[in-house]
A and B are shown apart, each in its own frame.
Chain A
Amino acid sequence: MNSDPIFELRRVTQQFGHFLALDDINLQIYPGERVALVGSSGAGKSTLLRLLNGTLLPNRGEVWALGKNLSRLSSRQLRRVQRQIGTIYQQFQLVDSLRVIHNVNAGHLGRWSFWRAALSLVYPLEVKTAAAALHRVGIPEKLYARTDQLSGGQQQRVAIARVLVQDPPVVLADEPVSSLDPALSQEVMSLLRTLVQESGKTLVTSLHSVELARNHCDRIIGLRNGRILFDAPPASVSAEMIDALYRLKE
C-alpha cells in the first residue's frame, strides 16, 4: 500500500447516551479496497459508516476522509468532501413520489446549481447519463417510471444508479441487500462489486452475511460491541473467528 489512506479513524469513540457504539477505534482504508464490516446488530457497523460519510461526528478521536479531518470542516467544506462519497442504504432511501430519472439525477445534486436542478425537475436533463447508468444496473426501461411502483430489487438498482451518476471514488453501503431475498442479494452484490471494480472505486459495506463478505470483498473487519475483533483478508478469516464474532455471551 503505497498511497495515502482514503479513510483514517484515529482513536475514535462514539457514544449515544450510555450506549457505547464504538470504543477507541483505529482504522485505515486505502483506495481500491473492498471492505466488508461484519458483526451482530449493535456492533457498531452503521455508526462506523455514518462517521465515514460525515453525517455523524465522533465524540472523541478524529475521522479523516480524503485527507480532511471531518470535525474541522465548515459545512460547505464538508459538503465538498461528501460529494466524493456515495452511500447506498438498506431501505434504498429514494424519494418515492419522483420518477426514477430524478432519483438517478439526484446524483448530480452536489454539482448542480439550484436553477439547473429545478429545471431538471420539469424537463429532465442529462437523460443520457441517467439512461446509461440504468442500463448498467439492468433496468433501462424504468427511466420514466414512478419510483414507488418499482420492486425492492429494482429500487436498490436505482439507488446504485444514483451513485454511478454521482461517480464518487468511494462507495459506502449500509446493509445494501438485507431487504432483498437471497438470490437477489447475490445479484445486487455482484453488480455492486463489478461496478466498483471496473472504475477502481473503494467500497466499504456492512453485511449481515459473512458468506457475501467472503465472496465479494477483499478485506473483512469483524466488529463486536464497538471494538474491532479482527481485520483480515477473507482467506484468513476462520470459522472460529466468526463464531467468536456472533457468540451470544463472552
Chain B
Amino acid sequence: MDQPLSRPSPLNQRAIWGLVAFGAIALSLYQAGLFQRDWLNLGGLSQLGRFFQASVQPDLSPEFLRLTLNAIVVTLAYAVCGTCLSLLFGLVGGVLVSEVWWQSVFPRQAKQRSIWLTIRAGLAIPRAIHELIWGLFLINIFGLDPLVAIVAIAIPYGAIVAKVFSEILDETPRQPLMALLSSGVAPLTAFTYSLLPQAFLDLLSYSFYRFECSIRSAAVLGIIGAGGLGYQILLSLQSLRYEQLWTLFYALFVLNGTVDLTSAVLRHRLGSPSRLDLNLRRDNRSKSQKLEELRDGYSTSSDGQESHPTQNAADQVSMLKQQRQPRDRGVMVAGLGAVLLIPFCFWYVSADFSKLWSPRTMQLLADITQSSLPPNFDGEQLPQLLALSWQTLAMSILAIAAAGIGGILLSFPAAHNFFLPGGLLNPTQSSRLGCLLAWGMLLLTRSVLLIARAVPAPIWALVALFVLFPGILPGAIALGLHNLGILGRLMAEVAENLDQRPLLALKAQGTPASLVFLYGVLPTTMTRFLAYILYRWEVCMRETVIVGLVGAGGLGRLLTEQLSSFDYSSVIVTLSSFVVLTFIVDWVSGRMRRSLR
C-alpha cells in the first residue's frame, strides 16, 4: 500500500479567517475592559427585577389598550408603506447594479466594470446610516410629515434590498436570458421574461423578510410625528413606566409574531421555505431540472411513501408542483389581502408625496447642504475619529459574536425537527412527558427569540445598564440580544430545511445523537449560519447609533451630540466615518463568506 497522503496544512484560508475572527473578538473584549475592571453591577438587580416584574402586570386599562391598538395600526401602516417603497427602490436598483444587467447592456466593454463596481459600492452609503439618522435628516427637508418615517425606512432598506436582489439575480441561471438577448430582445424586456420570473420566489421571500424588519424599524422610529408603537414606547420609556412599556412590548410581540407566522405560512405554500436565502453555493441548475431529479428520486425509491428520505423528496416535489400552479386558496386570500392592505396603509398614513419634489423641499435641501459644507474636518480630529470608530467596531463585533453564538445555541431547540418526538436528536422513544417537555422547550425558545427581537435595542440597552457598568459591553449585549432574536429565527429555519438524508444515514448505523449533531448537523448548517452572522454584522454596526446611552457609543454618541448641536458640517464627517466602516465591514464579510464556500 502506498504512503497515505500528507495532511493538508491546517492553515488554510478558512482557518486564517477563523483566527482573525477570534483575534477581533478578543481585542474587542479587551477594549470593553472585561479584563481590567469590574463590569457586573449587582446593585441594579432590584431595578432589573422591577423591569421584569412589570411583564406580568402590564397596563391593561381600556384607555391604554385603545391607544396601543391605534399604535399597532399606525406602526403596521408605516411598515407597509416603508417596505413598498424600499422594494420599489430595491427592484430598480437591484437590476441596475446587478452584474448580469451590465453584462447584458454593455456586453463587450470591459471598462464598464469599474463603473459598475463603483455604483455597487456606492450603495454602502445609504446603508451605513441608521433609519433614525435618516429620519432626523429628512425632517430638515420634508418637515413634520409621515413621509419622513417612510422615506427614512425606504432609503437604507432600499439599498439593502438592491444589494440582495442584485446578488439573487446574479446567481440565477442565465441561459434563458442569454437565449433571449442573442435573439435581439432588448435587455429590459429580456429581464422581465427570464431572470425576474425565474428569481421571483427568492425575491418574494426576501421581501417578506424585509417587511418583518420594517416592522421592527417602524417601532424604533419614535420621532415620526404620528404616533405608533415606537413613539409610545419612547414616551413610556422616558418616564420609565414599565407597566405601559410591557403592554407595548406585548403589542410588538403580537405584531411581529403574526407577521412572521403569516410570512412563514405563505412562503411555505409558495414553495420557498427560507426567508433569506444566503445560499453560498447555488448550483447552477434551474428549478425545473431539480424537479426532474426529484421526480426520479421519487419514483425509484418511493416504496414507503412516508419514509423519511423519500418524504423529503415527495414534499419538495409537491412544493414544486404547487409552485407551478400557484392557485392555492390561502395564497389567493393573502394576495387579495395585500392588494387591499397596501392602498389602505398609504391612505391611512397619508404622507404628502408631493413634498418629494416641492419647491420648499428643494429650498430646504439647499439650506441644509449649505450648512453642512464644507465639512468641518482637520487632521487633529483624526485620532479621535479613529478611536471612536474602533469603539463602534468593537461594539459591533461583540454584539454580533454574542448574537451569533446565542442564535446557534437557540436555533436547534427552536427548530421543529430536532428534539420533538421523531426528531433527529430526540434521544428516547417518546414518552408523554418527554413529548410535553420537548414541545415546552420549543415554545419557550421561540418565545425567547420573539421577545429578544421584538423589544427594541435601546430598551435592552437600558436594561443591560442596570446590571452592567457603562461601557461597550452593555451596548454590545443590548444589540446582541436584539439581533440574537433575529438570527436565531433565521437559523432555526436553516435547521428546519436541512437535508435530512445524511443525518438519517448516520443514525441508521447506530451513531448516538450527539455525534449525529457533530458530524451531520453542524457541518451542514454552519456555513449558512456563519453567512447569516456576517450579513447581520453590518446591521449591528449601524445600530450602535441607537444605544448611545450606554456611555460608550463610539461614533454613534458623537453623532447624536453633533446632531443635537445642529453642527451639520461635523455631522458629515462622522457619517463619512460610518460609511468607511461599512465599506470595511462589507469587504471583510465578503471575503470571509467567500472563504466559507
Contact = CB atoms under 8 A, between A and B. Distances in A.
A54 interface: yes
A41 B527 CA distance: 36
A56 B504 CA distance: 11
Interface string B22-63: 000000000000000000000000000000000000000000
B304 A81 contact: no
B206 to A, nearest CB: 24
Interface string B493-526: 0000000011011111111101110111001101
Interface string A156-175: 00000000001010000011
Given A80-B510, A135-B1, A97 B524 contact: yes
A53 B508 contact: yes
Contacts of B302: 41-42, 46
B2 interface: yes
Given A46-B303, A46-B304, A124-B7, A117 B509 contact: no
Contact of B303 (A42, A79, A86, A168): A42
A114 B515 contact: yes
Contacts of A85: 508-510
Interface residues of B, number: 45
A190 to B, nearest CB: 21
A50 B506 CA distance: 13
B305 interface: yes
Given A41-B299, A143-B4, A117 B515 contact: yes
Contacts of B297: 90-91
Contacts of A110: 509-512
Interface string B301-316: 1111111111000000
A46 B304 CA distance: 7
A43 B4 contact: no
Nearest to B5: A143
Given A89-B501, A93-B505, A114-B514, A56 B307 contact: yes
Contacts of A106: 506, 509, 511, 519
Nearest to B510: A82
Given A87-B509, A93-B505, A132-B1, A43 B307 contact: no
Contact of A14 (B304, B508, B515): B304
B504 A55 contact: yes
A82 B5 contact: no
Interface stretch (A16-24, A27-35, A181-189): A16-24
Contacts of B524: 95-97
A45 interface: yes
B509 A118 contact: no
A44 interface: yes
Contacts, number: 153
A25 interface: no
Nearest to B507: A55
Contact of A47 (B304, B516, B519): B304
B305 A16 contact: yes
A110 B519 CA distance: 12
A250 interface: no
B530 to A, nearest CB: 11
A141 B8 CA distance: 12
Nearest to B522: A121
Nearest to B499: A96
A47 B502 CA distance: 18
A109 B519 contact: yes
Interface in A57-99: 74-75, 78-87, 89-91, 93-98
**Of B301, B310, B504, B520, which is in contact with the most chain A CB atoms at under 10 Å from its CB?**
B301
A127 interface: yes
Contacts of B305: 16-17, 19, 21, 42
Contact of A16 (B304, B504, B508, B512): B304
Interface string A105-149: 011011010100110010110011001100100001101100010
A219 interface: no
A129 to B, nearest CB: 10
Given A93-B504, A114-B514, A143-B5, A107 B509 contact: yes
Given A17-B306, A47-B303, A50-B304, A144 B510 contact: no
A140 B2 contact: yes
B325 interface: no
A220 B306 CA distance: 26
Given A46-B302, A90-B300, A118-B518, 5 more contacts: A41-B302, A75-B427, A90-B301, A98-B519, A143-B5
9 shortest interchain CB distances as A-B pairs: A82-B510, A83-B510, A131-B4, A46-B303, A93-B505, A79-B510, A47-B304, A110-B510, A109-B511
24 contacts: A16-B307, A21-B305, A42-B303, A50-B304, A55-B507, A79-B512, A80-B510, A89-B501, A90-B301, A95-B502, A95-B519, A96-B502, A98-B523, A109-B519, A110-B510, A117-B518, A131-B4, A132-B1, A135-B1, A135-B2, A141-B5, A166-B509, A168-B509, A175-B300
